[in-house]
Structures are given as C-alpha cells and as structure tokens.
Amino acid sequence: MSLKHYLQFTDLNADEYAYLFERAALIKKKFKAYEKHQPLADRTLAMIFEKASTRTRVSFEAGMYQLGGSVVHLTTGDSQLGRAEPIEDSARVISRMVDLVMIRTYEQTKIERFAEYSRVPVINGLTNEFHPCQIMADIFTFIEHRGSIRGKTVAWVGDGNNMANTWLQAAELLGFTVHVSTPGGYEVNQAVAGVSSACYQVFEDPMQACAGADLVTTDVWTSMGYEAENEARKKAFADWCVDADMMRAAKPDALFMHCLPAHRGEEVEAEVIDGPQSVVWDEAENRLHVQKALMEYLLLGRL
C-alpha cells in the first residue's frame, strides 16, 4: 500500500469518505454488540500530544486497543520533543518503531514536516488550522440522524478557527454550504482553508447565519494556544452565543453540535447544548468509530 497521511480533510476524496462512513457504521455496530474486530493486531500507534485532550486521547487509545493493536503516548513535557529535538529526527525515529502516528500540535507546518520524514501514516489530531477527525465524526453523526449532508446548510457561529476551516473544506468536498458568522477580526481565512468562495457565505448577524440551517454548530471562543487573548475574545464574542432564538431561526429539525469541551453561558446556552436538538454526546462517541475506520483504512486499505 502506498503511504497515505491524514493531515487535513482534503487528504481523502468524497468516495473515500463514503467508504469510511459505511465502515464506521459497521465498526460501531460490532462494538455495540461486543463483537471482536481486530484487524490491527500487533500494530502500534504513537500518539503525540503538544496540547491537552480528553476525547482525542481516549478515542484513539481505546480505538487502537479495540482494533487489536497497542498505543504509545507521548507529550512534549515527557519526551525529547519538548527539548528541541528536530521534528525531522523525531519523525524518522518514531516512525521506525510504530505503524501509525497521531499528532496534536500547534502549526500545521509542524505536522507536515513530521509527515514528510515519516515512514508511516500520520493523522492530524488537531492543529491551529485544522481538526479533520472531528469533522469526520460530525458528518458521520449528521448522516446517522438525518441522512446525506449533500445540499444541506451548516451554520457556523463563533470563531473562524481550526473547526471552521475544516468545515469549509468538508463543504467543498462533500457538496454542502456553510453559513459563517464570526465577530470582526475573527473571520475564517479562505486561503488557509484553501477553498473557493462557493462553499460558504458570510453573515454579520449570527441569527441570519442560522436562518434555515440544518445544523447549527459552534466551538470555544478561545482555542488552545490563544489563551493570552481570552479577555479580549470574551468581549468580542459576547453576541455569538448559540441560544434558543438562534435554534428557532434554524429549520425545526435542525441539529446542534459542538466538538467539546463546551462552556455553557459563553459560546452556547445550557438549554441548547442540553436540549432536545443537541447531539453532542453522539458526536463525541463517534470520534471512536470514525477514527477506527480511518486507522484501519490508512494501514490496510479497503477491506
């Protein structure tokens, strides 16, 4: 098999996503039935975390064990990564010892450099620019609840961050539209997402972005790595809190998603995230199932 990395959403095509969503559904069904599914017996995943995580760590670690493999967990603080060993050297060494690498880090260029020197597939577990595994889980969750996402409208309310960039990439690739509303100064960057302007529309008013949407979604006001801006962001984002009025502006059967962790009373009101339209727990669980499908695919191809 040729070496394939998953560094951004566009690293796979629509046909590959269709396969992965089907495969994730099968893997999920087996998991629920306590049926063994261990195609990655004797394979090892290295997970490198330069930022904190709950969902990404648990889903990749549990997922790899469930697939029959094992996991090595590294952080900046407890490895030579935090002591300025060049990324290229780390990549050459780690990728001689394991079969797959998952990285959560800062700049996208860091994961790209690692991938360039890696002998094994590298998966993006979140960078400043992208969070492709999360969007894969989000779209799988949408499909489970509502069917195909093609032609649908996703409202993005909040920061033009890694999640927003990845939604734009997904929209272009899978044929849906994103209605984006961010405060001034926190807009999405089309060049970073690398998309055409056809896949999204910008709205000043978050309420207008939500109008007629099939899915309303948001994320923290301050992403990891931007903590110094926290106070300024709290002021700038005050009107970008997803509330019941925004959900009422969306379609009556609209879903609400949030990649979590969430701050009730900031980017979303408790009545929305804990309300009947919210599918955030399914969304979090589905990280496990889609990433198992992804790891299997990167190592073994279509089964």
- Return the number of the residue (130 or 249) whose C-beta is nearest ligand CP: 130
Asked if 259 interacts with ligand NVA (CB under 6 A), we say yes
Q: How many CB atoms lie within 10 A of CB 252?
A: 7
- Find which of ligand CP, ligand NVA, none residue 124 binds, CB within 5 to 8 Å per kind: none
How many other β-carbons are positioned within 10 Å of the β-carbon of residue 185? 9
Ramachandran area for residue 298 (φ above 0: left; ψ -120 to 50: alpha; else beta): alpha
Amino acid identity, residue 33? Answer: A
Beta carbons within 8 Å of 245's beta carbon, 6+ residues apart: 207
Site for ligand NVA in 211-230 (CB under 6 A): 219-220, 223-224
117-136: which residues touch ligand NVA (CB under 6 A)?
Answer: 126
- Min. distance of Cβ 278 from ligand NVA in angstroms? 17
Give the three-state DSSP class for 18: helix
In the set 163, 210, 213, 242, which binds ligand NVA (CB under 6 A)?
A: 163
- The verdict on whether 42 is a catalytic residue reads no
Interface residues with ligand CP (CB under 6 A)? 53-56, 126, 134, 259-260
Per the annotation, the verdict on 248 as an active-site residue is no
Contacts of 24 (CB under 8 A, 6+ apart): 140, 286, 289, 290, 292, 293
Whether residue 134 lies in the annotated active site: yes
The catalytically annotated residue of 8, 108, 134, 169 is 134
Which of residues 220 and 272 has its CB atom nearest to ligand NVA in the complex? 220
Please tell me which residue in 43, 55, 219, 289 is annotated as part of the active site.
219
CB of 248 to ligand CP, least distance (A): 26
Whose Cβ is closer to ligand NVA: residue 74's or residue 220's? 220
Report whether 85 contacts 58 (CB < 8 A): no
**Which phi and psi (to 5°) does residue 163 adopt?**
-65, -45
Q: Which of ligand CP, ligand NVA, none lies near 219, with the C-beta cut-off 5 to 8 A by kind?
A: ligand NVA
Q: Which of 138, 287, 289, 291 is catalytic?
A: 287
| String of contacts with ligand NVA for each residue 77-116, x by CB under 6 A | ----------------------------------------
* Catalytic residue check, 55: no
Kindly give, in sequence order, each residue whose CB lies less than 8 Å from that of residue 255, ignoring residues fewer than 6 positions away: 141, 142, 145, 146, 214, 215, 216, 277, 278, 279
Q: At what angle do helices 55-66 and 280-300 cross, to 10 degrees?
A: 50
CA distance 220 to 52: 14
Q: Which residues contact 153 (CB under 8 A, 6 or more apart)?
A: 176, 177, 178, 179, 212, 213, 214, 215
Beta strands in 206-261 (DSSP E): 215-218, 255-258
Q: Nearest to ligand CP by Cβ — which residue?
A: 56
Residue 61 CB, shortest distance to ligand NVA, in Å, is 16
**# residues near ligand NVA by CB under 6 A:** 9
- Secondary structure (DSSP) of 48-77: EESS--SHHHHHHHHHHHHTT-EEEEEEST
Task: Pick one of ligand CP, ligand NVA, none as the site partner of residue 280 (Cβ within 5 to 8 A by kind).
Answer: none
Q: Which does 54 bind (CB under 5 to 8 A by kind): ligand NVA, ligand CP, none?
A: ligand CP
Q: One of 43, 66, 259, 277 is an active-site residue; which one?
A: 259
Binding residues (CB under 6 A) for ligand NVA: these are: 126, 161-163, 219-220, 223-224, 259
Which positions are annotated as active-site residues? 104, 131, 134, 219, 259, 287
